[in-house]
């Protein structure tokens, strides 16, 4: 899935609904943080996640790849062994049924990893 950091979550939802025929399937709201998960109305693969973090001013092109894994701790071990590093520690969010972490690759690109439980 692809995640885009946005300034105006609702405006970006409307844009991707009109332009790409995506529909919001789920909204996540945590203190200071909101996401909208969107999928194509016509079906097909891929999901788009729009992310808004209160007080942040994302730069154009602030896009993350989100890797899904069955074992986030094993992913973190492989990441470290290959020269990457965790930048936001693994966090379990019971209400969402997932754990996530942010990491950088050896060239400094920020990405995210998610494990659903």
Handedness of CA 99, 106, 53, 48 (dihedral sign): negative
Task: Note whether residue 110 is domain-resident.
Answer: yes
Task: Note whether residue 6 is domain-resident.
Answer: yes
Instruction: Among 36, 57, 78, identify where a domain stops.
Output: 57
Instruction: Among 37, 57, 77, identify where a domain stops.
Output: 57
Q: How far apart are CA 9 and CA 63, in angstroms?
A: 14
Domain count, the chain: 2
Task: Note whether residue 64 is domain-resident.
Answer: no
CATH number, residue 10: 3.10.180.10
Assign 8 to helix, strand or coil: coil
Say if residue 87 is in the same domain as residue 114. yes
Range of the domain at 86: 69-117
Residue with tokens 């659903």: 116
**pLDDT score recorded for residue 10:** 95
Q: Are 28 and 9 in contact (CB under 8 A)?
A: no
**pLDDT score recorded for residue 114:** 94
**pLDDT score recorded for residue 37:** 95
Split the chain (117 residues) into runs of 10 and give each run's mean pLDDT.
92 91 93 94 84 89 88 95 94 93 90 93
Note the pTM of the prediction, 2 decimals. Answer: 0.76
**pLDDT score recorded for residue 59:** 83
């Amino acid at each position: 899935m692809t995640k885009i950091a946005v300034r105006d979550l609702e405006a970006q939802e409307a844009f991707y609904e009109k332009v790409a025929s995506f529909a919001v399937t789920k909204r996540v709201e945590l203190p200071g943080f909101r996401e909208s998960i969107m999928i194509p109305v016509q079906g097909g693969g891929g999901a788009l996640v729009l992310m808004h973090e209160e007080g942040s001013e994302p730069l154009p092109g602030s896009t993350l790849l989100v890797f899904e894994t069955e074992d986030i701790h094993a992913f973190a071990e492989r990441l470290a062994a290959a020269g990457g590093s965790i930048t936001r520690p693994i966090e379990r969010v019971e209400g969402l049924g997932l754990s996530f972490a942010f990491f950088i690759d050896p060239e400094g690109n920020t990405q995210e990893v998610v494990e659903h439980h």
